[in-house]
């Protein structure tokens, strides 16, 4: 066996300059001899020398076994030490086999699926030479104007935490296997709360809200052993996260005991200047290192200023050593000192990347992530339906793998047209685009209407373009872009059966047509196997079971609308109330169009007999709750049974309901099952006025049901 490397010995041998080198992360083109022009330009712009490149500790945004092996070997030859580079990349929902975007994955409520997704991503990425992924992204989201909601699993802190844990486990395993990669949870913290949904915008909230809603999912990732944390671009409690000592050294390290590596987001150290907490690069470097950022991503302030800051005594060298130690430990844990090329292998790439097994899993997961929002019985499509018209910009489009597909390719994906043809054959389906996502001409439009007229059933595949969500993809209007709503209106006038399938990275504003169509499916960006998964659902081979993890607003003016909100002192007494002086809108209901937890099935699950084994408990006790669920419809199906709790009166205001548990059951038509939940005092805890995490005695309401609005309820007392 190889001897364990002695990290302290390595650090001792490094010059201060070399140590600081470990703290910069550069994009891949700096190391690629073929992108010479790009390198020189960027080196000059960043004020870096070529030697700085060969001192850098890590690289981002590159994959491919052949290329990475070349970069690593050249680096080891050129640098003055034997410390290998670590390669990081955004493998957010798949490497080349692309899975549904995380918001869709969230709607599966399937933690094993999330773990499997991460495991497969890790297999493919590791043979492609990648060592760390910048995932999971666990920012809680409430504002669909923000383009990055597609990267999150949704609006619930508990569920986001469970997904965070599952993904970390899937990527990292025990870190010993050849196909394990390190995970980096992001964006610490509360990036999802950008004001007005505008990306990179200020975040301002009370510390209690931060701790109650936003921090739990990052904490879950830390508890699951995530190796790295990425800071966010935004301000938290008045200080940008990347210069926020309270967040990084206070909460993350001291309170939560995180010992891994902290990396800034791209350029975020430099952004401390625009944020107005640093006058220049020197001060930005000083603030970031003191606050706890180990690696500066893609800006050069550490390289330019830390050496001098140490020399003049403004930064203790110990701080630099600590950061270097963490980075070297990361490399050590990943096995890079033993084998700097790790699992990079052209042969395994050919064998494993996009293999049938991975595709099949992607298809299954996509099937569990696609949400049925409306259905008057038109779905599933009758096997004998002969003339199907498939219309719309997403009908034959492979580019539905999401804005963070990174190395995934549209040409590898199965389109909806392909998927449907594999069931009904060429002859039974006709495709016409009708219009583009944002554009369209009258001829195309007319052609589509002609095709629609000749059909028995029309499927409209519509949505927003991938690039309309994701980073820097904020939108103020959330309606379907271009002429797509006009297309729906025109088609509806034909009086035929119409199914709308929506592709988007966020909940869109769809209230103008949602209730008029015969069926409505939220496909999100379903990934490489999206077309097959959708066809499975449309044809009834898969019974939809996904439930929304982010509320759909009626209109933009209702945002943010989310289920776990407070009651206010003047709650609206009932939805039809017309009296004034209640917390309500004059023109729309308070409730969203589709609430958290909502999603239909081809069958119907009925809930009854919600019972508690006792009505009172004392500290240390648990409570058993049972509920009967019957599959009262004609199809076998999977149901996600949700349990919410409300603290009826606390020392601080408490949400109307909070998801505390859920169970997934599969029932055949006519079958009934009684399921039980155990309630304990941990489920009753919250942050009080002093931000202590406590439970308080009193009455609690327990709610169980198929979504956050349709619930059976009962009450117990905690004495
Ligand atoms: C910026 C994004 O905010 C972050 O999520 C990503 O990981 C980095 N760029 C690196 O690509």
Give the Cα-Cα-Cα angle 566, 568, 574 (nearest 5 degrees): 95
Ligand 1 centre to CA of 96 (Å) is: 18
Ligand 1 nearest-atom number relative to CA 232 = 3
Of the pLDDT bands very low, low, confident and very high (cuts 50, 70, 90), residue 43 is: confident
Strands, sheet with 605-612, edge to edge from the N-terminal-most edge strand: 605-612, 623-631, 672-679
Atom nearest to 191 CA in ligand 1: 3
Segment 353-398, tens digit of pLDDT:
999 999 999 999 999 999 999 999 999 999 889 899 999 999 999 9
pLDDT at position 3 is 67
pLDDT of residue 612: 97
CA distance 434 to 455: 15
Give one DSSP letter per residue of 371-392, joined into a string.
EEEEESS--SPPTT---EEEES
Q: Name residue 666's beta-bridge partners.
A: 638
Per-residue pLDDT tens digits for 225-263: 999 999 999 999 999 999 999 999 999 999 999 999 999
Instruction: Tell me the average pLDDT of the chain.
Output: 96
Q: Would the CB of 471 count as within 6 Å of ligand 1?
A: yes
Catalytic residue check, 265: yes
Instruction: Give the mean model confidence (pLDDT) for residues 655-661.
Output: 98
β-pair type (235-236, 239-240): antiparallel
Residue-wise pLDDT for 130-175, tens only, equals 999 999 999 999 999 999 999 999 999 999 999 999 999 999 999 9
Cβ of 18 less than 6 Å from ligand 1: no
- Confidence at 33, pLDDT banded by 50, 70, 90: low
| CA of 414 relative to ligand 1 center, distance in Å | 27
Q: Say what the pLDDT of residue 694 is.
A: 96
Q: Is the pLDDT of residue 36 over 70?
A: no
pLDDT in tens, 293-347: 999 999 999 999 999 999 999 999 999 999 999 999 999 999 999 999 999 999 9
Q: Residue with the nearest Cα to atom 3 of ligand 1?
A: 265
Q: CB of 529 closer than 6 A to ligand 1?
A: no
Q: What angle do CA 258, 260, 263 make, to 5 degrees?
A: 110
User: Ligand 1 centre and the CA of 92: distance in Å?
Assistant: 10
Helix (H) or strand (E) holding 346: helix 346-352
112 Cα–ligand 1 center, Å: 26
Residue 605 Cβ contacting ligand 1 at under 6 Å:
no
Beta bridge partners of 297: 25
266 Cβ below 6 A of ligand 1: yes
Residue 701, ligand 1, Cβ within 6 A: no
pLDDT at 384: 86
Span from the CA of 137 to the centroid of ligand 1 (angstroms): 10
Residue 250, number of CB atoms within 10 A of its CB: 14
Of 17-21, 50-54, 620-624, the poorest mean pLDDT is in: 50-54
**Ligand 1 neighbourhood includes 199 CB (under 6 angstroms):** no
Residue 37 has pLDDT above 70, yes or no: no
Ligand 1 pocket test: which of 61, 63, 230, 472 has the largest number of ligand atoms within 8 Å of its C-beta?
230
Residue ID of nearest Cα to ligand 1 atom 4: 265
The atom of ligand 1 lying closest to the CA of 187 is 5
Ligand 1 centroid distance, CA of 266 (Å): 6
**Nearest partner of 105 among 368, 467, 363, judged by Cα:** 368
* The pLDDT of residue 409: 96
Distance (angstroms) between ligand 1 centre and the Cα of 90 equals 7
- Answer yes or no: is the C-beta of 644 below 6 A from any ligand 1 atom: no
Question: From ligand 1's centre to the CA of 230, what distance in Å?
Answer: 9
Distance between CA atoms of residues 648 and 264, nearest Å? 41
pLDDT of residue 86 exceeding 90, the answer is yes
Residue to probe by mutation, ligand 1, list 61, 471, 473, most atoms within 8 Å of CB = 471
Distance 638 CA to ligand 1 centre (A): 35
Q: Ligand 1 pocket, 430 CB below 6 A? A: no
> Could you write out the three-class secondary structure of 597-646?
CCCECCCCEEEEEEEECCCEECCCCCEEEEEEEEECCCCCEEEEEEEEEE
Ligand 1, atom 7, lies closest to the CA of 134
Q: Could you tell me if the CB of 148 is within 6 A of ligand 1?
A: no
C-alpha of residue 538 to centroid of ligand 1, in Å:
35
Question: pTM here?
Answer: 0.98
> Distance between CA atoms of 20 and 571, rounded to whole angstroms?
56
CB 151 near ligand 1, within 6 Å:
no
> pLDDT by residue (tens digit) across 479-518?
999 999 999 999 999 999 999 999 999 999 999 999 999 9
Tell me the pLDDT band of 289, cut-offs 50, 70 and 90: very high
Q: Please give the number of the atom of ligand 1 that sits closest to the Cα of 186.
A: 5
Task: Look at ligand 1, atom 1, and give the residue with the nearest C-alpha.
Answer: 266
Task: Choose the catalytic residue: 265, 294, 536, 647.
Answer: 265
pLDDT digits 0-9 by tens, 331-344: 999 999 999 999 99
Pocket test for ligand 1, best of 25, 149, 265, 270 (most atoms within 8 A of CB): 265
Pocket test for ligand 1, best of 90, 135, 262 (most atoms within 8 A of CB): 90
Locate 195 and state its tokens: 């004001």
Q: What pLDDT was estimated at residue 35?
A: 64
Under 8 Å CB-to-CB from 657, ≥6 apart: which residues?
A: 563, 564, 644, 645, 646, 701, 703, 708, 711
Kindly give the distance from the C-alpha atom of residue 568 to the centroid of ligand 1, in angstroms, as a whole number: 37
Q: Which of 152, 186, 199 to mutate to test the pocket of ligand 1 (most atoms within 8 A of CB)?
A: 186
Q: Is the CB of 163 under 6 A from ligand 1?
A: no
């Amino acid at each position: 066996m190889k001897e364990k490397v002695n990290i302290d010995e390595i650090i001792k041998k490094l010059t201060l300059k070399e140590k600081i080198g470990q703290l910069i992360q550069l994009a891949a083109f700096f190391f690629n001899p073929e992108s010479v022009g790009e390198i020189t330009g960027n080196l000059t712009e960043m004020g870096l020398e070529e030697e700085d490149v060969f001192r850098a500790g890590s690289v981002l945004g590159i994959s491919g076994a052949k290329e990475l092996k070349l970069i690593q070997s050249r680096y080891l030859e050129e640098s003055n030490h034997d410390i290998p580079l670590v390669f990081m990349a955004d493998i957010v929902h798949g490497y080349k086999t692309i899975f549904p975007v995380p918001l869709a994955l969230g709607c599966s409520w399937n933690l094993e699926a999330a773990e499997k997704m991460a495991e497969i991503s890790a297999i493919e990425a590791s043979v492609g030479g990648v060592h760390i992924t910048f995932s999971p992204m666990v920012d809680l989201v409430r504002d669909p104007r923000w383009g990055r909601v597609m990267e999150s699993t949704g609006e619930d802190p508990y569920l986001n935490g469970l997904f965070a844990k599952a993904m970390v486990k899937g990527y990292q395993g025990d870190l010993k296997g050849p196909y394990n990669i390190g995970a980096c949870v992001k964006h610490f913290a509360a990036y999802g709360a950008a004001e007005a949904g505008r990306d990179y915008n200020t975040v301002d909230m009370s510390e209690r809200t931060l701790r109650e809603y936003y921090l739990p999912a990052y904490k879950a990732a830390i508890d699951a052993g995530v190796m790295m944390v990425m800071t966010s671009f935004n301000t938290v409690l008045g200080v940008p996260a990347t210069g926020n000592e309270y967040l990084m050294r206070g909460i993350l390290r001291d309170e939560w005991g995180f010992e891994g590596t902290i990396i800034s987001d791209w350029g975020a150290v430099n952004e401390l200047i625009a944020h107005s907490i640093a006058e220049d690069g020197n001060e930005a470097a000083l603030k970031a290192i003191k606050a706890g950022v180990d690696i500066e991503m893609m800006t050069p302030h550490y390289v330019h200023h830390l050496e001098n800051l140490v020399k003049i005594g403004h930064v203790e060298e110990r701080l630099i050593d600590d950061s270097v130690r963490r980075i070297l430990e990361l490399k050590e844990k990943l096995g890079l000192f033993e084998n700097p090329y790790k699992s990079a292998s052209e042969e395994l790439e050919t064998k494993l990347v996009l293999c049938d097994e991975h595709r099949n899993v992607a298809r299954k997961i996509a099937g569990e992530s696609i949400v049925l929002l409306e259905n008057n019985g038109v779905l599933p499509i009758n096997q004998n339906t002969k003339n199907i018209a498939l219309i719309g910009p997403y009908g034959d489009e492979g580019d539905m793998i999401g804005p963070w597909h990174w190395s995934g390719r549209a040409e590898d994906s199965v389109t909806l047209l392909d998927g449907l043809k594999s069931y009904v054959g060429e002859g039974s389906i006709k495709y016409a685009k009708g219009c583009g996502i944002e554009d369209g001409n009258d001829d195309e439009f007319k052609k589509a209407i002609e095709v629609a007229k000749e059909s028995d059933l029309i499927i409209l595949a519509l949505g927003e373009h991938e690039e309309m969500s994701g980073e820097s993809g904020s939108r103020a209007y959330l309606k379907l872009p271009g002429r797509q709503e006009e297309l729906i209106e025109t088609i509806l006038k034909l009086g035929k059966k119409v199914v709308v399938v929506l592709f988007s990275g966020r909940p869109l504003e769809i209230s103008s047509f949602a209730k008029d169509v015969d069926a409505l499916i939220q496909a999100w960006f379903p990934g490489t196997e999206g077309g097959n998964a959708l066809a499975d659902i449309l044809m009834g081979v898969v019974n939809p079971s996904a439930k929304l993890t982010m509320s759909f607003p009626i209109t933009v003016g209702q945002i943010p609308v989310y289920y776990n909100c407070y009651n206010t002192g003047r709650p609206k007494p009932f939805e039809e109330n017309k009296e004034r002086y209640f917390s309500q809108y004059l023109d729309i209901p308070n409730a969203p169009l589709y609430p958290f937890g909502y999603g239909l099935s081809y069958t119907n699950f009925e809930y009854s007999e919600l019972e508690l084994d006792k009505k009172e408990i004392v500290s240390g006790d648990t409570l058993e709750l049972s509920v009967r669920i019957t599959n009262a419809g004609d199809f076998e199906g999977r149901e996600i049974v949700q349990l919410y709790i409300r603290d009826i009166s606390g020392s601080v205001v408490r949400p109307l309901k909070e998801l505390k548990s859920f169970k997934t059951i599969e029932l055949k038509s006519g079958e009934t099952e009684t399921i039980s939940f155990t309630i304990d005092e941990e489920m009753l805890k919250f942050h009080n006025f002093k931000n202590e995490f406590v439970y308080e005695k009193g009455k609690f309401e327990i709610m169980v049901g198929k979504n956050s609005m349709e619930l059976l309820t009962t009450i117990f007392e905690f004495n």
